[in-house]
Each structure stands twice: as structure tokens, then as C-alpha cells.
Amino acid sequence: AQRVTQPEKLLSVFKGAPVELKCNYSYSGSPELFWYVQYSRQRLQLLLRHISRESIKGFTADLNKGETSFHLKKPFAQEEDSAMYYCALSRAGAQKLVFGQGTRLTINP
């Protein structure tokens, strides 16, 4: 069965510190992976996807097929990064996204 696991429900770091949000997945096929972010009182929106291999708002994520992981990283956290982050896996197109449980990231001043 397809599954996405985010082991940390809550993560708190200080401004300027590095951030890593963990995501592990299980999927027998060739997955497409995404990170979505939900800022306070805003709708869920795409942060980045592994296919594009780009950096958005200083965040990057590398797909590691050997470890079945897609961790989200940022070298220097900013207060505006505080939000709920969801890792998601696409089983057969984005219409069948499977989400992890989410990690609430808090950046302390």
C-alpha cells in the first residue's frame, strides 16, 4: 500500500538555524513526490515537487529512492517559514495524492 510518513508532528527551531522536515514513503512504483505548505489562515499550496528539482523560498528536497525519503531542507530558517507542511505522493497523477500526517513548523525569533 502507498503510504507517506512524516515522523514529526511538531518541529520548533530558532531563526537562522537549519531546518529539516522528514518524509518517508512506501510505494512499489515510480513515485512523484511533493511538498505542500499551509500558512496560517491560508489555503494549502504547492511548495515544490521532486521532478522540477528547484529551490522555492530557500527550501530544497531531494528524492532518495534507496532510503525512500524526500526530506525538506532549508539552511537558514526565517520566521515566515512557520506553517504546516505536508509531504505528498502521487500514485497515478495528482488527482490521487496521498498525504502524510503533516509537520507543524514553528520558527522562534
What does each C-alpha distance from 52 to 9, 21, 29, 32 come to in angstroms? 27, 19, 19, 11
Question: How many whole angstroms separate alpha carbon 39 and alpha carbon 78?
Answer: 13
Report the site for other proteins in 31-50 (rule: CB under 8 A).
Answer: 32, 34, 36, 43-46, 49
Segment interacting with other proteins, rule: CB under 8 A, options 11-19, 28-36, 64-72, 74-82: 28-36
Report the site for other proteins in 72-101 (rule: CB under 8 A).
Answer: 86, 88, 90, 92-101
Q: Which is nearer to other proteins, 38 or 82 (CB)?
A: 38
For 29, counting Cβ atoms within 10 Å of its Cβ (0-12 exposed, 13-18 middle, 19+ buried), the class is exposed
Question: How many whole angstroms separate alpha carbon 28 and alpha carbon 64?
Answer: 14
Smallest gap from Cβ 6 to other proteins, in A, equals: 8
Summarize as ranges the residues that interact with other proteins (CB under 8 A).
4, 6, 9, 32, 34, 36, 43-46, 49, 51, 86, 88, 90, 92-102
